[in-house]
Chains A and B, each alone.
Chain A
Amino acid sequence: MLDDFFTRALVAGIGIALMAGPLGCLIVWRRMAYFGDTMAHSALLGVALAFLLEIDLTLGVFAVAALVAIVLVLLQRRDALSTDSLLGILSHSTLALGLVAIAFMTWVRVDLMGLLFGDILAVSKADLVLVYAGGAAVLAVIAWLWRPLLAATVSPELAEAEGLRPERSRIAFMLLMAAVVAIAMKIVGVLLITALLIVPAATARRFAATPEIMAVLASAIGGASVVAGLLGSFRFDTPSGPSIVVAALAIFLIALVPRPGRAAAR
């Protein structure tokens, strides 16, 4: 069954959606969407680095994304520029650096479109192992750190005073985001990873009464977006990343329609 490229893409995409759900909720609650975007954009630089050093692609992307997160946190502490400007600088300069570096390496053939927008043809059996092993690890860490992550989202001081060590969960959170960027890059493409994190979470908000329900719903909605998007991508021969995001957007818009018998959404 997994010999079929489309089935492989589908299975991989659902795995990514599952781990993107809870993490996407945390990103939305913490208002870190642009932060996630910046890490995702740096992935291309990671690709270039991986080719240059001849290391594993996923490892290179993870390392660069994590490095960008650390640099950002350090720069934020200096207070010289607003976070907004810092994110803008890092986001686009890492993307540009990655593109230039890859263009310089004339000896490697890179499917740039595939990297930027995702390519369902590119998913190998090894990638499936990576998605599910990595995804299981990501979900396990989120489950393990859920209470401190959520408490620090509400109030870092409160979490700190009552002994939950918010700084540790903040670092873990950034590493998790780097891991998701590295794992999701092939299917969704670096430009659109943040959308897969945020759009299902935003859709889930209207139907969720607790943070936990919202996290599970976001995974489910993300999975549905992946299935619908990949079917569309296959049918209309469109790149997989944008197709998935368009499907996620469609579900978001459908969810906005007021349901009869309920008060209008706030």
Chain B
Amino acid sequence: MSADPRQDALTLVTLKGVGVHRSGRWIVRGVDLVLRKGEVVTLIGPNGSGKSTTAKVATGVLRPDEGSVQRTAGLTLGYVPQRLAIDRTLPLTVARLMTLTGQRPASDIDDALDSAGVAHLRTAEVQTLSGGEFQRVLLARALARKPDLLVLDEPLQGVDFQGETQLYDLIRGVRDRTGCGVLLISHDLHVVMAGTDTVICLNGHVCCSGTPEAVASSPEYLDLFGARAARSLAIYRHHHDHTHLPDGRVRHADGSITDHCHADDGHHTPPSTEGRHDHDHGHDHAHDDGHSRHATGGNG
């Protein structure tokens, strides 16, 4: 589809016709994928569709059984895993976690913690962090490596809706600021981060790919996800009437700061039919279940 095979200075990784064969069957086959500097590629697909396998081929952990992989020499990779379970007996502070896979200059670590908004957690033990804080710390750890390519494997598991949008904003900010390439495996079939340049929908093969809008309206996508696809592919592109500050306080649209966030405290815009979030996008949208995710390119 739109996977552009052109090789240029911005290309980080190119997969051509990649297939991985394990215990008598093809996990994925015929995957074309180009990762470039400053571009966000999101992989979506059902469980077992080969998302992680494809990512592992791209990062060089797995060798493909067919097809070719070209990787820029000396590529630095930053990896953000799914939520981890770290045993409580391991005394691991955020600061120590930052150098887990390699030494980094102190200034890089400070910058990374700052940009992820978790500088105040430096001396905290990782087991005491909340889900959202921990994901930010993991992102900071990857950023401190100054990666050319940031790989995020379902980074939002265990993070609530509020935390999701914040993390997506953060990831997009990193891409804009550092110009690194981003490969994101999405945990949700129907939600893709705003700013995604290419969505690749996998189901053992590339079932469709292209811009989020193009994928959402492609017949392959609708076929694969059946009835639920009526809800179509949603894209995060909305702003909030309040911001959660790293120290737990809340800054409201009217500029005031409070310790807590209550819908009826007078700082919020009146609830719309969408619930607590204001959305801002120029497409038609359809709802099939009353939830607040918006569809673009759907048939609403």
Contact = CB atoms under 8 A, between A and B. Distances in A.
A210 B81 contact: no
Contact residues of A: prevailing secondary structure: helix
A160 B93 CA distance: 21
A153 B77 contact: no
Contact of A161 (B77, B84, B87): B77
Contact of B91 (A160, A161, A211): A211
Given A150-B100, A154-B97, A161 B59 contact: yes
A162 B89 contact: no
Contacts of B79: 157-158, 161-162
B84 A155 contact: yes
Interface string A154-197: 11011111111000000000000000000000000000000000
Contact of B90 (A147, A153, A162): A153
Interface stretch (A28-36, A91-99, A104-112, A121-129): A28-36
A31 B145 CA distance: 29
B153 interface: yes
A28 B81 contact: no
A200 to B, nearest CB: 12
Contacts of B81: 155, 157-158, 161
A163 B61 CA distance: 8
Contact of B61 (A28, A161, A202, A211): A161
A154 B151 contact: no
A155 B96 CA distance: 14
B256 interface: no
B77 A147 contact: no
Name the residue among A158, A201, A213 with the largest chain B CB count within 10 angstroms. A158
A201 B86 CA distance: 16
Interface string B76-120: 011101101011011111001100111000000000000000000
Given A158-B81, A161-B59, A161-B61, A147 B101 contact: yes
B91 A164 contact: no
Contact of B89 (A161, A163, A202, A213): A202
A154 B92 contact: yes
Contact of B93 (A30, A150, A161, A210): A210
A214 B87 CA distance: 14
Given A158-B101, A161-B61, A210-B96, A28 B87 contact: yes
Interface string A209-246: 11101100000000000000000000000000000000
Contacts of A72: none
B90 A154 contact: yes
Interface of B: 56, 59-61, 77-79, 81-82, 84, 86-87, 89-93, 96-97, 100-102, 145, 151, 153
Given A163-B77, A205-B91, 19 more contacts: A29-B87, A30-B87, A31-B87, A147-B100, A150-B100, A154-B86, A158-B100, A158-B101, A159-B101, A161-B56, A162-B77, A162-B79, A162-B145, A163-B60, A201-B89, A210-B92, A211-B91, A211-B96, A213-B91
